[in-house]
Amino acid sequence: MKVGLAQLNIHVGNFRANTDKIIKAIQTAEAQGAELVVFSELGVCGYPSRDFLEFDDYINKCKEAIDEIALHTHNIAAVVGAPSRNPRVDGKDLFNSAWFIYGSKVQQVIHKTLLPTYDIFDEARYFEPNCVFELVEYKGKKLAITVCEDIWNVGNENPLYIACPMDELVRLKPDLMVNLSSSPFSYQQYEERMKVVYANCKRYNLPMIYVNQVGAQTELIFDGGSVVVSEKGELIEQLPFFQEEVRVVEVGEKPKPITYHLPSKTALIHDALVMGIKDYFGKLGFRKAILGLSGGIDSALVLCLAVKALGRENVMSVLLPSAYSSGHSVDDSLALVKNLGSPHEIIPIEEPFQTYLKTLQPLFKGLESNIAEENLQARVRGTLLMAMSNKFGYILLNTTNKSEAAVGYGTLYGDMCGGLAVLGDVYKTQAYELAHYINRDGEVIPSNIITKAPSAELRPGQKDSDSLPEYDILDKVLYQYIEKRHGPRELVGMGFEKALVDRILKMVNMNEWKRFQAPPILRISPKAFGMGRRMPIEGKYLG
Q: Kindly write down the DSSP assignment for every residue of 76-91, as one continuous string.
A: SEEEEEEEEE--SSSS
pTM (2 d.p.):
0.95
Residues marked as catalytic: 41, 112, 148
Alpha helices in 37-79 (DSSP H): 56-70
Architecture in CATH of 268-464:
3-Layer(aba) Sandwich (3.40)
pLDDT tens column, 292-329: 999 999 999 999 999 999 999 999 999 999 887 767 88
How many residues are present in the chain?
543
Q: Which segments of the chain have a pLDDT < 50?
A: 543
Q: How would you classify the pairing of strands 394-398 and 420-421?
A: parallel
| Structural domain boundaries in the chain | 2-262, 268-464
Q: Give the list of residues 6+ apart from residue 536 with CB closer than 8 angstroms, or none.
A: 512
Q: Give the list of residues 6+ apart from residue 94 with CB closer than 8 angstroms, or none.
A: 53, 59, 83, 84, 85, 86, 126, 127, 128
CB contact at 8 A, 300 and 435: yes
Within 10 angstroms of residue 537's Cβ, the number of other Cβ atoms is: 12
**Which residues, listed in sequence order, are joined to residue 7 by a DSSP beta bridge?**
245
CATH topology for 2-262 is Nitrilase/N-carbamoyl-D-aminoacid amidohydrolase (3.60.110)
pLDDT tens column, 250-278: 997 777 899 888 899 999 999 999 999 99
Q: State how far Cα 376 lies from the chain centre.
A: 32
pLDDT tens column, 221-236: 999 999 999 999 999 9
Question: What pLDDT shows up at residue 457?
Answer: 66
CB contact at 8 A, 494 and 480: yes
Question: What pLDDT shows up at residue 456?
Answer: 65
Give the containing element (helix H, strand E) for 37.
strand 36-38
